[in-house]
Amino acid sequence: MLRVAGLTRRFGDHLALDDVTFDVVPGRMTGFVGANGAGKTTTMRIILGVLAATAGEVRWQDQPLTQDVRRDFGYMPEERGLYPKMKIRDQLVFFGRLHGLDAERAAARTDKILGRLGLAERASDVLETLSLGNQQRVQIAAALVHEPIALVLDEPFSGLDPLAVDAMADLLREEVTSDVPVLFSSHQLDLVERLCDDLVVLSRGKVVAAGAVSELAAGPTSTYRLVVDGDAGWLRDVRGIQVRDVAGGTALFDVLDGAVEQKILQEAISRGPVLEFGPERVALSDVFREATR
């Protein structure tokens, strides 16, 4: 497990990170979100050892993270670090070798990943001749080529079209075995909700929410939505609930009393077709807005 433990970072008088603590669990994708300037890149740079913490530390398997271990991480930095004038395939093989793969393995991994990202035909092209989206794909390939033990990705999906996002997400899922923790920052909350298992929300250098996306986005289970093919006005007379809103066949209500929602479902079915019934989910964007207010 990768653990960020009490990270604090000052830039002069500015407290960019204030006692930031969270875990990135192996085999799970952790989304790292927060407004501009919240401290995501600073946290990631400290994890990767290119910036020192003022206080706190990064731990790997319950030990302080060392440079030796970091070499086996896959990293996609904010300032993308590839060689513009080098051919794509040569560059990826080079990165693989740099991280300790032998020549044959580095070539095999490069070809596999380029194929999965739809870039096999561009393998001999120079990086800077590619579109920005394709350069981004090569960046993710560079992070993955050496079979990393952990992945730290700063905005890996920015600038990609939806098909490219899907291809990259599929590749990540395939590459991320049960013992690899993945941390990625993003401003695309819909993507984070779709791709991540866990979420860390940062606001002005502090962790303001963390946990499983399913739990954070589940919302209060006491609020239910009922959609019927008819008028749902009868709900106003039901005891044990507080109706929030009824408009035609759509109703939103809070359950005040135990199992009353099942009785409501039965009543609704006896009155006609039920189109939708269940606890109301909160959008991740609402969780985010609430957490970063």
Ligand X SMILES: Nc1ncnc2c1ncn2[C@@H]1O[C@H](COP(=O)(O)OP(=O)(O)OP(=O)(O)O)[C@@H](O)[C@H]1O
DSSP conformation class of 87: B
Residues 205-244 that bind ligand X (CB under 6 A): none
Residue of 1, 27, 37, 256 interacting with ligand X (CB under 6 A):
37
Phi, psi of 195 (to 5 degrees): -100, -25
Residue of 24, 29, 30, 42 interacting with ligand X (CB under 6 A):
42
Region near ligand X per CB under 6 A, out of 39-47, 55-63, 211-219, 230-238: 39-47
Distance of CA 160 to CAs 92, 157, 169, 186, Å?
Answer: 20, 6, 11, 12
Nearer to ligand X, 78 or 257 (CB): 78
56 counts as binding ligand X under rule CB under 6 A: no
**DSSP for 244-271?**
EEEETTEEEEEE-STTHHHHHHHHHHHH
40 counts as binding ligand X under rule CB under 6 A: yes
Which residues make beta-bridge pairs with 187? none
Q: What is the rounded distance in angstroms from the CA atom of residue 89 to the CA atom of residue 123?
A: 5
| Sequence letter at residue 41 | T
Q: For residue 270, what are the contacts with CB-CB under 8 A and spacing of at least 6?
A: none
Residue 68 burial (10 A CB sphere; 0-12, 13-18, 19+) = exposed
Nearer to ligand X, 43 or 110 (CB): 43
28 counts as binding ligand X under rule CB under 6 A: no
Region near ligand X per CB under 6 A, out of 10-18, 84-92, 104-112, 280-288: 10-18
Nearer to ligand X, 194 or 204 (CB): 204
38 counts as binding ligand X under rule CB under 6 A: yes
41 counts as binding ligand X under rule CB under 6 A: yes
79 counts as binding ligand X under rule CB under 6 A: no
Our CA dihedral for 286, 217, 215, 207, rounded to 10 degrees, sits at -30
Residue of 36, 124, 131, 270 interacting with ligand X (CB under 6 A):
36
Residue of 2, 16, 140, 287 interacting with ligand X (CB under 6 A):
16
* Residues forming the site for ligand X (CB under 6 A): 11, 14, 16, 34, 36-42
